[in-house]
Amino acid sequence: MLSAGLLVMSAPFLWMALSAFKTNAELGASPPVWIPTEWTLSHFSELLDKLNLPLYFMNSVIVAVLVTVCNLVFCSMLGYALAKLKFTGRDKVFALVLGALMVPGNLMLLPLFVLMSKLHLIDTYAGLVLPFAAGAFGVFLMRQFMQSIPDELLEAARMDGAREWYIFWRIVMPLVKPALATLSIITFLGSWNNFVWPLIATNDPDKYTLPVALATFATDPNQSAGSNGMLMAGSLLVVLPVLLLFAVLQRHFTQGVATAGLK
């Protein structure tokens, strides 16, 4: 049963990956051809000729990496404060974080656009990164992990003269590596695949991310005629970085998810 479910879930990805290497004749064949008989890289070369893929790819990398780094830093700091520091209004702040988890993301698009416009950040990397620099889910995740760290360990460090900044960076952060890996993958994946906000916040084609560039290409009849193979090739290029990131951090991600289930 598990194997059947895995096959059903992976079938669309396998079709996309294999179709990127098929000839146009095989793409339009009936019945469909699953495995190419003539492997070709022509769709990738044609896509490179029609789109500035290195630019769009680099835009996506810059935005996704900056969003991920910002989330790791800011969510960890706030999660630590909510888990281990005592201050007035701590429970109310955590309640606001939980409330933010219940707000649909699309509901915030219009206010974010107005705010970014007034700050003159439309068509800038800052305008693509700042709205997602810290997420409520990341704060919640880091708080839950940091609550499992024994208070006695932190108190011993304080008695030895360690300051909170030192405790946070040198003691707490190394202990929550599984959570950091989990948050890295989830945040990078969400930012890399984000389509709606980059579409709204960019008018300059030089600031397009890869998903926006491919969608714009697909909806342009002058460019995309007979381009199913190129779209499959472009979609494969979008997916590969995420697969590589997951492969590198898989052990930490699995450990983080398993540990989160025990909180």
pLDDT of 244 > 50? The answer is yes
Give the C-alpha separation, 167 to 176, whole Å: 13
Residue 103 covered by a domain: yes
Residue 94 covered by a domain: yes
Residue 25 covered by a domain: no
Structural domain including 121 reads 57-260
For residue 250, name the pLDDT band (cuts at 50, 70, 90): low
Residue 34 covered by a domain: no
Give tens-digit pLDDT for 139-153.
999 999 898 888 888
Give the C-alpha separation, 70 to 57, whole Å: 20
Give the C-alpha separation, 17 to 234, whole Å: 10
Residue 38 covered by a domain: no
Return the structure tokens found at 150: 């024994």
pLDDT of 128 > 90? The answer is yes
In one letter, which amino acid is 259?
Answer: T
Residue 89 covered by a domain: yes
Of the candidates 189, 74, 59, 208, the one whose C-alpha atom is nearest the C-alpha of residue 131 is 74
Residue 23 covered by a domain: no
Give the C-alpha separation, 212 to 204, whole Å: 11
Give tens-digit pLDDT for 23-64.
777 777 777 777 777 787 777 887 787 888 889 999 999 999
Return the structure tokens found at 68: 């991920």
For residue 12, name the pLDDT band (cuts at 50, 70, 90): confident
According to the model, what pLDDT value does residue 63 have? 95
CATH of the domain at 141: 1.10.3720.10
Task: Give the count of domains, the chain.
Answer: 1
Residues in the chain: 263
The answer to whether the CB of 43 falls within 8 A of the CB of 53 is no
Residue 31 covered by a domain: no
Give tens-digit pLDDT for 73-91.
999 999 999 998 888 888 8
The answer to whether the CB of 263 falls within 8 A of the CB of 147 is yes
Q: What is the 3-state secondary structure (H, E, C) of the chain?
A: CHHHHHHHHHHHHHHHHHHCCCCHHHHCCCCCCCCCCCCCCHHHHHHHHHCCHHHHHHHHHHHHHHHHHHHHHHHHHHHHHHHHCCCCCHHHHHHHHHHHHCCCHHHHHHHHHHHHHHCCCCCCHHHHHHHHCCCHHHHHHHHHHHHCCCHHHHHHHHHCCCCHHHHHHHHHHHHCHHHHHHHHHHHHHHHHHCCHHHHHHCCCHHHCCHHHHHHHHHCCHHHHCCCHHHHHHHHHHHHHHHHHHHHHHHHHHHHHHHHHCCC
According to the model, what pLDDT value does residue 226 have? 55
